[in-house]
Structure formats: structure tokens, C-alpha cells
């Protein structure tokens, strides 16, 4: 019984296997070729079966390359031309054709089976550039047709505009010729394409040409101006230049038109002429300040009474500060400017000047804005008497003006100005030297008087609530300065130094008139302001007496001369008071100083021990002029001097034997020889002079 059952199973299995085998082959083959073109599929006759997308595109492109390199033969009105497919922009859409081929015969086993017996060819779509075709047709018309239709012309040479009007004639049929050329080129046909000729009227009119001429003249006359408001740049093209650069042509197309353009080769050289003016380095953001001679009600503030701004109009009531944005560095491109000129010429004659903003400044607008709004912190004014000292003070102000102190930085007057020298323009004037006022022309007096600038800037620091790092008041009090709230300057010391302990920059501005100096600080202290209080004087003391040798030989031994009576000294305290934005006191800072006053200077003869002498002082030489010789000798010898007689002849009898002069006459050591000059009468008799007086009487 087993054998018959096996035989039955075999009879059933074999037919089933025969039926399943094609299905198995289909599934295996389809899976293996899922990303490939099916069998028996071509594109424009090119076999792409069993190729991937990229392989198929490569195969079709190879075929298309052959076609684009194969010129076509074209006949126009009996004349034959060879047309290069590239001249009319022949292109093939290989990708779309391959994409269509990839989708064929993928719909089941029926499609798969038909691929073994039926071929499918996918068309390869080609296109021509219509504008290029129309240009080519226009060229053939001019060459092959004796009486072609003419759309007119406009010619421009050195600002002179000439023209020709349109006229009717024969023309190549545009649409039909386009289709004929496309069919020939996409198929690679070797047959000559005969283009149809038709009679045609021009589409442009005489009025169109006249309007074109009028427009050309208007463009030339107007010229071009390109501007960039951000940088204040301008680029001009005058009429003469534009008249050389402007071009006009008739565009032959489906709708002929008059096209104007500007020759960039004429414009580009102009850019090179002005390039240096258009290409600038980056410009940092900055604050623009307007200073006015106003009055700030601060203690010891001097009111400006000789302001040159008094009659000026349009000034603000108070000092102002405004942020001026930074500017990137610029470069220009001749091609870009030429293109902009072309656009402006065909438009309104005006346009935007194209510039490239390549490099950012070191201090950008965003950096400046991050500090918040800056405002006036304080200003202080003092009165400036004198001439040379005023010149020196003004020079100091010029050195310091517009200094910017960033947060955390220190500012030093001496580091900013340097040593005061004649080469820098400073002049001699009085200065305190060794604790005393000196008005000599010594090197130490160059720049004399600049301590007034030190006092003025110190008070601006004081009332701006900025950190005082270093300052030193004068040893002698001057009434023109705020008592105890002032500063002297020397080099390298004393100095005036402050630290910007705020979160914003501090900008120092200076200004002056013939009689005043003003220092103004701008910044942002977060609303904190400062005032001041001064205590009464304490610790009074008398002037210090200073004995000094008389170098001029005026003071006799044993005598004294008061050169300077001097003045007393005292101690003084000023309190700087800090207020918050609401006006509440939040802190106090003490500034103490002791004035020693001017010394009481007494001059003595250099021989005196009080001024460094040995105590052995010279004797006063007696004056013997007018005495007889014997008396004079006795007087001088009695005083301890040796006498030498120098006789001199005289014609005056009364001078005989009399001392006419002596040398020396001041103070001398004992034993010094004193020479007396004694007259010797030469015997000349005295002369009597008679005077005759004539009286004249006026007539009645």
C-alpha cells in the first residue's frame, strides 16, 4: 500500500513544482533588479536595461553628448549654414527619462514576463534656448534675405544718439523654424533643414524708436549718482562719461524691444580713481560730546563770565553726550559698482553705492551699548589769572582732552602729558620750589602754573565719585583754590591719579576761556552722586623762620632784611559725601591736609654764622671822597686798611690835594688796600665868564 501512496504524491508534487518555479525565479529576479531598469527598456534607442539609475544616466548622457556635438545643416533662402547645437543651447533631460524608465515593468509577474518579448523605448526630451535661436535666426536673415524685416536701430557714440526707423520685409518664421531645428537636433538627422520664409511687418514703430532716442538722451544728460548714507560716500558718473558708456540694441525675440545697458569697461576705471576715498579702515564707536559754558552749582565753583558762546544760537542748555555708532572697514568692487551704475542709469539716475563691510572695528557699537547710557558726572571750573601760566594750563588741557578711561583702568595726568618742556610748547612761570614760590627761568619753572589744572581735574574726579588714587595739595594755601580740596603737580611727582571704579567708560573733556579752565567727566555711576562738606580750620601755627644768605650784597654785616614775612599754617578736613539715586547718604570719605604756610625769609650777610658763615665779617670801608689826602689816609688806616694814593692832574685849583674817588667802597677784610684818587692842580688860572643879557620888549 505504501508504493501507490508515494506514487500519488509524486504525481501531485511535480506539477506544483513546475508551477512554482517561474514564481520563484520572478521573485528572485525582481529582488535583484529592484533598483535597476527592467529588461528590454531603451531611452531614445539607447539600451539601459538592467542598469542602475546612475549607470542609465551615464549611458543617456553619452548619447546626448554625441548629439550636441553633431552640427545640423540649415538652409535659409537658398543659402546653407552649419548650426552647432551648443550655439542654440541644445540640452537633454536625461534624469527625467531615466526616472521614467525605472518605473516601467514593475507592476507584477505579467510585466516581468512581457519584458522577455516586448521592447519599450522611452523618449528623450530635448530643448533649445529660445532666445539663442531667435538671435541665430536674426543673423541668418541679415545674411541670406535681401530685404529682411528691420526693427530699427539706435546707435550711441560719445553722447551722440543716432537712429534708423523700422521697415517691413521678409523674415524667417520663428515658431515653425524653432520646431524644425529642435526636431533635427534631437534626432541627429543628417538631412538639411529648410527654414520657411514669410513676409512680415516690424513690431517696433517709429514712435518706439523716437521714444528710445529720447530716453537715451535723458539718461546721458542726467548722469548717475550713487550714494551710501551710512558712510557719506558718493560716486558720480557725469554726462560725458555716461555718453561713452551707454549702449542700445534691438532685442529680437517674440516681442522685439529696445534694450539699454552700460559698458562696465568704461565705468571700472573711474572706480580705481576714487578707490582710496571709498576704502576706509574700521571706525570705532565713540561718544560725541557738545560742551557748553554752563554753571554747575558746586562749592567753590567759578562762574564763567567771558564765554565766547554767549551770543551763539542753537546750543543746548547743558553739556550733551550721544553715542556715534562704529563703522566697519570698507572695500569696493569695480564690477559691483559698474552694475549699480547700470541699474541707476536706467532708473532714476540715483542709486545705492555698493560697498563691502569687511572688517569690524575694535570697539563696536554693541560694545559701547553694553555699558549703558553715559551722562555728565561732574564738571569743575577755576579762574586762571596770568599769561604764561594760562598758556601752560591750556596746553595741559589739550593733552588731556578726550581721554577715555575704561572700567578698572587708572588715569594719570603725568603719564598722559609727560614732562613739561619747552619743546612741547610750555613756557616759564612761577612754581613752588622747595616749599617756596619761585618765578625764575630755571628748568623747574617750565610749565609753571599747571597745578591749577591739577586742582581743576581733581575736583572733577571728586564730584564724579571716582576713586582717588593719588593727589597732593599745595604746601601753601592759595585763595583761588578750594581750601584743602586741591592738587599740585610736578614731574614725576606729585601727580593726580584716579581709578575708574565704575562699570562704564569715563570720558574726560576739557575747555577753557581766556580766564577759566573747565574739566568735565562723563560716564555712568549707576545714579550715585557726590557732595562735600568742609570743617573749620584747626591746628593753627606760626610761619617758620628761614635765615638766608644775601647773595646780592645788599645786607651789611650785622644787619637783617625781611625778604618775605611769611604766613601761618593750619589743618583742614573735607568730607566727600556719596548719595544714592534717591538722594540718600550712603557713605563718606575724609580728605585731610595741613598747610604749613609760607616761610618768614630773613636775609643776612653771608659772613654771619646763622647763614653758614664763619663769623668773621668784613669791615665797612669808610667813605673819604672830598677829604684832603692826609685826613683820608688817617681815616682808612685807623679802620684797618692799607692806603694807596693815585694822583691825577686837575685844572681846578680847589681839587688840588683833595680825594676825588676811592675803590672799593663796600665791605672788605682788614688789610685790604684801598686806592684813593687825589687831585694835583696843574697851575691853570681860573677863567672868568661874562654873561651878556639882551632884553626884547614886545611892541605895544
Integer Cα distance of 91 and 100 in angstroms: 18
| Cβ neighbours for 249, distance < 8 A, ≥ 6 positions apart | 154, 258, 259, 261
Query: Of 190, 224, 259, which residue sits at a domain end?
Result: 190
Integer Cα distance of 302 and 294 in angstroms: 11
Integer Cα distance of 496 and 470 in angstroms: 5
Q: Which DSSP string do the residues of 297-323 spell out, in sequence order?
A: --TTPPPP-S-TTTT-SS--SS-EEEE
Q: Which DSSP string do the residues of 90-154 spell out, in sequence order?
A: -EE-HHHHHHHHHTTT-SSHHHHHHTTT--EEE---EE--HHHHHHHHHHHHHHH-SSB-B--EE
Query: Of 501, 525, 549, which residue sits at a domain end?
Result: 525
CA distances from 618 to 506, 589, 669, 674, 675 (A): 65, 59, 4, 14, 17
Integer Cα distance of 415 and 399 in angstroms: 11
Give the CATH number, domain containing residue 633. 3.30.10.20
Integer Cα distance of 330 and 282 in angstroms: 7
Element (H, E) at 404: strand 403-405
Instruction: Tell me which of 132-141, 273-282, 549-558, 575-584 is least confident.
Output: 549-558
Sorting pLDDT into bands at 50, 70 and 90, what band is 77?
very high
Q: Is residue 139 part of a domain?
A: yes
Q: What is the pLDDT of residue 33?
A: 52
Q: Across 305-309, 497-501, 694-698, which has the greatest mean pLDDT?
A: 497-501
Q: Are residues 556 and 671 in the same domain?
A: no
Q: What is the pLDDT of residue 529?
A: 96
Q: What is the pLDDT of residue 84?
A: 93
Give the CA-trace dihedral at 327, 328, 334, 338, to 10 degrees.
-50
Q: What is the pLDDT of residue 693?
A: 41
Give the CA-trace dihedral at 681, 687, 688, 690, to 10 degrees.
-140
Strand partners, 383: 516
Q: Are residues 446 and 572 in the same domain?
A: no
Greater confidence (34 vs 422) lies with 422
Q: Are residues 113 and 61 in the same domain?
A: yes
What number is the average pLDDT over the span 573-584? Answer: 96
CA distances from 283 to 20, 265, 279, 394 (A): 84, 32, 12, 29
Integer Cα distance of 161 and 138 in angstroms: 24
Integer Cα distance of 697 and 301 in angstroms: 75
| Cβ neighbours for 658, distance < 8 A, ≥ 6 positions apart | 626, 627, 628, 629, 678, 679
Q: Is residue 238 part of a domain?
A: no
CA distances from 312 to 292, 315, 435 (A): 10, 7, 45
Instruction: Tell me which of 239-243, 253-257, 498-502, 519-523 is least confident.
Output: 253-257
Q: Do 395 and 271 contact (CB within 8 A), yes or no? A: no
SS (H, E, C) 206-267: HHHHHHHHHHHHHHHHHCEEEEECCCCEEEEECHHHHHHHEEEEEECCCCCEEEEEECHHHH
Q: What is the pLDDT of residue 448?
A: 84
Integer Cα distance of 172 and 196 in angstroms: 6
Q: Are residues 416 and 511 in the same domain?
A: yes
Integer Cα distance of 130 and 253 in angstroms: 8
Give the CA-trace dihedral at 187, 188, 194, 200, to 10 degrees.
60
Supply the DSSP symbol for 448. T
Query: What does the block give as the cell for 202?
Result: 516690424
| Cβ neighbours for 205, distance < 8 A, ≥ 6 positions apart | 166
Integer Cα distance of 328 and 326 in angstroms: 7
Integer Cα distance of 76 and 145 in angstroms: 8
Integer Cα distance of 33 and 50 in angstroms: 7
Q: Are residues 422 and 557 in the same domain?
A: no
Integer Cα distance of 478 and 471 in angstroms: 17
Q: What is the pLDDT of residue 126?
A: 92
Radius of gyration of the chain (CA): 55
Angle between helix 130-144 and 174-187 (nearest 10): 110
Q: Do 410 and 469 contact (CB within 8 A), yes or no? A: yes
CA distances from 235 to 226, 562, 675 (A): 5, 78, 94
Sorting pLDDT into bands at 50, 70 and 90, what band is 113?
low
Q: Is residue 243 part of a domain?
A: no
What number is the average pLDDT over the span 577-587? Answer: 96
Q: Are residues 95 and 137 in the same domain?
A: yes
Closest CA to 654 of 690, 675, 680: 680
Integer Cα distance of 577 and 172 in angstroms: 98
Integer Cα distance of 298 and 670 in angstroms: 67
Supply the DSSP symbol for 699. -
Sorting pLDDT into bands at 50, 70 and 90, what band is 252?
confident
Integer Cα distance of 640 and 66 in angstroms: 140
Q: What is the pLDDT of residue 699?
A: 35
pLDDT reading at 566 higher than 80: no
Q: Are residues 385 and 504 in the same domain?
A: yes
Closest CA to 289 of 466, 21, 75, 508: 508
Instruction: Tell me which of 104-118, 176-190, 273-287, 385-399 is least confident.
Output: 104-118
Q: Is residue 417 part of a domain?
A: yes
Sorting pLDDT into bands at 50, 70 and 90, what band is 109?
low
Q: Are residues 130 and 43 in the same domain?
A: yes
Integer Cα distance of 453 and 257 in angstroms: 76
Structural domains in the chain (count)? 4
Integer Cα distance of 315 and 141 in angstroms: 75
Q: Give per-residue pLDDT as tens, 434-492.
A: 656 666 667 778 878 899 999 999 999 999 999 999 999 998 888 889 999 999 999 99
Q: Is residue 507 part of a domain?
A: yes
Q: What is the pLDDT of residue 697?
A: 31
The alpha helices in 283-387, defined as continuous H runs, are 334-346, 365-369
Q: Are residues 606 and 625 in the same domain?
A: no
Q: Are residues 481 and 560 in the same domain?
A: no
- How many helices and strands in the chain, by DSSP H and E? 15, 42
Sorting pLDDT into bands at 50, 70 and 90, what band is 12?
low
Q: Is residue 155 part of a domain?
A: no
Query: Of 190, 213, 245, which residue sits at a domain end?
Result: 190
Q: Helix, strand, or coil here: 519?
A: strand
Q: Are residues 390 and 520 in the same domain?
A: yes
Q: Do 421 and 446 contact (CB within 8 A), yes or no? A: yes
What number is the average pLDDT over the span 590-605? Answer: 88
Q: Is residue 566 part of a domain?
A: yes
Sign of CA dihedral 204, 206, 210, 216: positive
Q: Are residues 489 and 592 in the same domain?
A: no
Greater confidence (666 vs 150) lies with 150
Query: What does the block give as the cell for 427?
Result: 613756557
pLDDT above 90 covers a percentage of the chain that reads 59
Mean pLDDT of the chain: 87
Domain membership of residue 35 as a residue range: 23-145+175-190
Integer Cα distance of 74 and 195 in angstroms: 7
Q: Is residue 245 part of a domain?
A: no
pLDDT reading at 395 higher than 60: yes
Output the CA angle 607-612-614, nearest 5 degrees.
50
Amino acid at each position: 500500500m505504501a508504493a501507490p501512496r508515494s506514487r500519488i504524491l509524486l504525481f501531485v508534487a511535480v506539477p506544483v513544482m513546475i508551477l512554482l518555479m517561474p514564481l520563484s525565479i520572478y521573485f528572485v529576479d525582481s529582488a535583484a533588479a529592484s533598483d535597476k531598469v527592467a529588461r528590454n527598456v531603451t531611452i531614445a534607442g539607447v539600451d539601459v536595461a538592467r542598469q542602475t539609475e546612475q549607470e542609465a544616466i551615464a549611458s543617456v548622457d553619452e548619447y546626448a553628448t554625441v548629439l550636441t556635438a553633431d552640427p545640423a545643416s540649415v538652409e535659409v533662402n537658398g543659402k546653407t549654414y552649419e548650426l552647432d547645437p551648443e550655439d542654440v543651447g541644445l540640452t537633454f533631460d536625461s534624469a527625467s527619462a531615466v526616472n521614467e524608465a525605472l518605473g516601467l515593468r514593475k507592476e507584477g509577474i505579467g510585466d516581468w514576463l512581457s519584458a522577455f518579448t516586448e521592447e519599450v523605448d522611452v523618449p528623450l526630451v530635448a530643448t533649445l534656448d529660445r532666445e539663442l535661436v531667435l538671435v541665430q535666426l536674426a543673423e541668418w536673415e541679415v545674411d541670406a534675405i535681401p530685404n529682411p524685416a528691420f526693427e530699427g536701430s539706435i546707435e550711441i557714440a560719445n553722447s551722440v544718439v543716432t537712429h534708423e526707423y523700422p521697415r517691413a520685409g521678409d523674415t524667417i518664421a520663428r515658431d515653425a523654424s524653432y520646431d524644425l531645428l529642435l526636431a533635427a537636433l534631437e534626432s541627429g538627422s543628417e538631412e538639411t533643414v529648410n527654414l520657411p520664409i514669410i513676409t512680415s511687418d516690424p513690431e517696433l514703430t517709429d514712435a518706439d524708436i523716437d521714444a528710445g532716442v529720447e530716453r537715451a538722451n535723458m539718461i546721458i544728460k542726467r548722469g548717475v549718482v550713487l550714494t551710501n548714507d551710512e558712510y557719506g560716500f558718493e560716486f558720480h558718473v557725469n554726462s560725458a562719461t555716461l555718453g561713452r558708456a551707454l549702449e542700445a540694441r534691438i532685442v529680437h525675440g517674440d516681442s522685439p524691444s529696445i534694450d539699454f545697458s552700460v559698458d562696465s569697461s568704461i565705468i571700472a576705471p573711474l572706480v580705481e580713481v576714487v578707490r582710496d576715498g571709498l576704502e576706509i579702515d574700521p571706525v570705532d564707536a565713540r561718544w560725541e560730546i557738545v560742551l557748553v559754558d554752563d554753571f554747575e552749582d558746586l562749592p567753590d565753583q567759578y562762574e564763567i563770565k567771558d564765554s565766547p558762546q554767549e551770543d551763539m544760537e542753537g546750543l543746548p542748555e547743558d553739556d550733551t553726550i550721544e553715542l556715534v555708532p562704529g563703522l566697519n572697514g570698507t572695500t569696493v568692487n569695480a564690477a559691483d559698482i559698474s552694475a549699480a551704475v547700470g541699474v541707476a542709469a536706467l532708473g532714476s539716475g540715483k542709486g545705492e553705492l555698493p560697498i563691502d563691510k569687511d572688517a569690524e572695528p575694535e570697539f563696536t557699537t554693541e560694545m559701547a551699548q553694553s555699558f549703558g547710557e553715559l551722562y555728565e558726572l561732574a564738571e569743575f571750573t577755576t579762574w586762571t589769572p596770568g599769561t604764561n601760566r594760562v598758556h601752560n594750563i591750556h596746553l595741559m588741557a589739550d593733552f588731556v582732552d578726550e581721554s577715555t578711561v575704561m572700567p578698572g583702568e587708572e588715569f594719570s595726568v603725568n603719564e598722559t602729558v609727560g614732562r613739561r618742556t619747552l619743546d612741547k610748547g610750555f613756557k616759564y612761570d612761577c612754581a613752588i620750589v622747595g616749599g617756596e614760590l619761585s618765578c625764575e627761568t630755571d628748568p623747574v619753572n617750565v610749565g609753571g602754573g599747571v597745578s591749577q589744572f591739577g586742582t581743576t581735574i581733581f575736583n572733577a574726579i571728586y564730584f564724579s565719585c571716582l576713586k582717588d588714587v593719588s593727589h597732593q595739595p599745595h604746601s601753601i594755601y592759595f585763595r583761588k583754590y578750594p581750601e584743602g580740596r586741591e592738587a599740585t603737580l610736578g614731574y614725576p611727582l606729585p601727580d593726580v591719579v584716579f581709578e575708574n571704579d565704575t562699570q562704564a567708560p569715563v570720558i574726560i573733556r576739557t575747555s577753557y576761556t581766556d580766564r577759566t579752565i573747565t574739566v568735565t567727566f562723563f560716564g555712568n555711576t549707576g545714579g550715585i552722586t557726590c557732595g562735600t562738606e568742609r570743617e573749620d580750620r584747626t591746628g593753627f601755627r606760626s610761619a617758620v623762620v628761614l635765615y638766608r644768605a644775601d647773595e646780592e650784597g645788599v645786607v651789611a654785616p650785622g644787619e637783617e632784611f625781611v625778604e618775605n614775612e611769611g604766613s601761618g599754617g593750619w589743618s583742614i578736613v573735607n568730607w566727600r559725601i556719596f548719595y544714592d539715586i534717591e538722594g540718600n547718604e550712603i557713605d563718606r570719605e575724609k580728605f585731610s591736609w595741613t598747610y604749613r604756610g609760607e616761610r618768614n625769609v630773613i636775609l643776612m650777610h653771608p659772613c654771619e654764622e646763622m647763614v653758614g658763615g664763619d663769623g668773621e665779617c668784613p669791615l665797612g670801608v669808610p667813605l673819604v671822597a672830598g677829604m684832603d689826602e692826609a685826613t683820608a689816609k688817617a681815616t682808612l688806616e685807623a679802620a684797618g686798611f692799607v692806603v694807596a694814593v693815585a694822583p691825577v692832574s686837575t685844572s681846578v685849583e680847589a681839587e688840588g690835594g683833595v680825594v676825588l674817588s676811592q675803590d672799593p667802597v663796600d665791605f672788605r677784610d682788614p688789610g685790604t688796600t684801598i686806592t684813593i684818587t687825589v687831585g694835583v692842580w696843574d697851575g691853570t688860572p681860573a677863567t672868568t665868564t661874562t654873561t651878556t643879557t639882551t632884553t626884547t620888549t614886545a611892541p605895544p
